[in-house]
Structure 1
Amino acid sequence: MQRKLLAAALFASLPLVAAAQSSVTIYGIADASIAREDTDVAGGSRTVVNSGNQSSSRIGFRGTEDLGNGLKAIFNLEAGVALDTGAGDSALFGRRAVVGLEGGFGLITIGREYTPIASIAGQSDILGQGFYGTNLSSFNATRLTRRLSNSVNYKSSTMSGFRVTAAYGLGETGTGPSLDTAGVGLEYANGGLFLGAGYHQVERLATGDDKEYAFGAGYKFGAIEVKGNYMVGDRTGANNKFEQMNLGAAMAVGGAGKVFVNVQRNEQASAKGNLIALAYSHSLSKRTNVYTTLASMRNNGAGTFGINASGVNVTPPATAPGADPTALAIGMRHSF
């Protein structure tokens, strides 16, 4: 009888042991602000409540399962949320949706994933791809690719500070150009130093491939950080080459505060635009901060370049070359 009870107790404990090998985390960011935005055209000035001036508001689910021998199964589903209206993104988990395996070889994921250039751009943006004036304005359907659907992705383990990334996204077209995207990146991080370079190739047309490339760098010494990048989206065809350069610095002040400045140069054919951005963030706790962000773009007579924040953009219409947009916001961000 005692043996039967012991066996039953051991059997009942097995699911608990298995459950202890897995973990699932619910996380997110809630970011809202009051903003004054002006596209410098008639009727283009407005006061709004925005979601995502520093970080796009989101909710996500991520988890791991220990498979033994140093191997883990991982997944991540992340959805964007507009905090001002409560609406979700048009694609439920459009921010990230992957499943994969992680081990001594690195990480392999399948699904919708960030590109190699996106990783480099994020690590070399002094604004952390938040606040007005971030390099996110480089990423759209006619410039550079930030996320890949239908993709297979690889990140190597870090070796002597170096990490290799690679991605292949299937266009899944039945006829015509494949729309496949291939990308590769190389990153180096050691102490306060970061260096990175990435390249994408997109089969958008029957002849001639679009090319995207980026170089980024950063260095932190004490309370000061300096970061910069150069990114190019070179689409097949005349006058389609887009170039952007960023150079920024940040300094911690008073223990809980941080000041940011970024200058940006945009060029495409004869169109040119120069931007300056300032921001200040003050931590109220480990998870909560308040901030203010300000940016101004100066376009030449052919330029219609805009100002991007994490979840916001302030861009003049294509019919208003030479317009100079500005934006100012005060907001609060909480992460959980």
Structure 2
Amino acid sequence: MKKSLIALAALGAMSAASAQSSLNLYGIADVVIHKDKGVAAKMTSGGVSSSRIGFKGTEDLGGGLKANFLLEKGVDLTSGAAAGFDRQSYVGLSNQFGEVRLGGVYTAYDDVAAATSPVFDSVLSPTKFLPTLNDYNYKPDGNIYYASPDFGGFSGAASTSLKQKPGNKATAFHVKYEGGPVYVSLGYQRDSASGSSTTFTRLNGSYDLGVAKILAGYGVEKDVSKDLTLGVDVPLSANLTLSAGYARAKLDAGGTATGFGLAAAYSLSKRTTVYGGLRNDNVDAVTLGGVDSRVGFGLKHTF
């Protein structure tokens, strides 16, 4: 009888713990086949979203306080290769005053940097060569991150990393407003390494007209470039969206990099999407990592 009571007590404790805690497995599988000018056709993992698998969970500590964690690793679907938890990996606390995260956390600047990138921020987007979207340290080691609660559509975040390596540090913040059809964000980051530093600033905005969503952004990497992005997302039906975009970077060293992209995405279900389109960058953009011309088609599934 005593053993039965102990077993029932243990079962009750486990049930209570499970009611206060949650653990979720999630992921994205995304592959695109693309043909670039002068290069053989290639299959790439992550055309719209990087392929990944992750574990996340929370524990209710009472009084509105929660403990949170996330472990996420990238997966190359073309080979099945997967490194360690090379994406985000952190533990933190949250309550009505916001959330603190500690570990391998994306910076506050990274949260908003590509928020209004046209053409689904995919490998077909003309923004992929822009220095303000590529040159910064998006996930410094030993990062401390704080995100505020929402105040009537206004919110913000700040992050700073410890000097895990001599002289290396990344400090960033963002503020944003999301209300109705309007989105506006401002992000800033300062990267320091070996006695030198670089700053990044981006102002992004979008407005949803219903028949189309207008996207725009302006960015500056100090002593490197100033860039502008323009785009539009047009819902052609409940499942089909057409997106077009233009990007330009005026380089401080001379030259102007430009690119154009056009793509369509069709939702087969809430979790599965097929997409395809084209992209063209000029010579100066190619020197920054762009492509002369590209045509691609892909498939994305989330779980």
Tell me, yes or no, whether TM beats 0.5.
yes
Matched, 1:332 2:296: no
Local SS of the residue matching 2:264: strand
Contact 1:29-1:333 at 8 Å conserved across structures: yes
**8 Å Cα contact 1:132/1:293 also seen in 2:** yes
| Match of residue 247 from structure 2 | 264
Q: Which residue of 1 aligns with 2:185?
A: 196
Question: Is the contact made by 1:144 and 1:232 (CA closer than 8 Å) also made in structure 2?
Answer: no
Summarize the alignment of residues 90-109 of structure 1 with structure 2, pairs less than 5 Å apart.
92-109=84-101
Mapped contact 2:117–2:215 kept (Cα < 8 A) = yes
State which of 112, 130, 135 in structure 2 corresponds to 1:120.
112
Shift of 1:75: 0.8
Looking at structure 1, the residues matched to 243 and 133 of structure 2 have their Cα atoms a distance apart, in angstroms, of: 28
Which whole-Å deviations, capped at 9, do the CAs of 1:69-97 have from their partners, x for residues lacking one?
Answer: 111111111111111111124xx222111
Give the letter for the 1:294 counterpart.
L
Give the superposition deviation at 1:138.
3.5
Question: What is the one-letter code of the residue matched to 1:54?
Answer: V
Structure 2 counterpart of 1:219, from 207, 228, 249? 207
* Unmatched runs of 5 consecutive residues or more in structure 2: none
Tell me if structure 1 keeps the 8 A contact 2:108–2:145: no
| Shift in Å, 1:7 | 7.0
Cross-structure match for 2:137: 145
**How far did 1:10 drift?**
3.7
2:75 is the alignment partner of 1:81: yes
RMSD: 2.3
Q: What's 2:35 paired with?
A: 36
Task: Provide closer, same or farther for how the CA distance between residues 15 and 260 of structure 1 changes in structure 2, counting only shifts above 3 A.
Answer: same
In 2, Cα distance between equivalents of 1:25 and 1:109: 18
Q: How many residues are aligned here?
A: 302
TM (normalized to structure 1)? 0.83
Q: Provide the secondary structure at the position in 2 that maps to 1:209.
A: strand
Deviates more, 1:188-197 or 1:110-119: 110-119
Same amino acid, percent of matched pairs: 30
Deviation at 1:46, TM superposition (A): 1.4
More helix by share: 2
**Structure-2-length-normalised TM-score:** 0.92
Q: Using a 3 Å threshold, how does the CA distance of structure 1 residues 304 and 136 change in structure 2: closer, same or farther?
A: closer
Partner Cα separation in structure 1 for residue 40 and residue 246 of structure 2: 25
Partner of 2:102: 110
Query: Residue 11 of structure 2: SS of its match in structure 1?
Result: helix
Judging changes above 3 Å, is the alpha-carbon distance between structure 1 residues 259 and 142 closer, same or farther for their aligned structure 2 residues? closer
| Post-superposition CA distance 1:81-120 (Å, at most 9, x none) | 111111124xx22211111111111110011112222111
Unpaired stretches in structure 1, ≥5 consecutive residues: 39-43, 235-239, 308-313, 315-324
**Contact 2:137 2:170 (8 Å CA) reproduced:** no
Going from structure 1 to structure 2, the CA distance change for 1:265 and 1:19 (only over 3 Å counts) comes to same
Residue 295 (structure 1) shift:
0.4
CA contact (8 A) 1:271 1:303 kept: no
Distance 1:283 1:257 in 2: 7
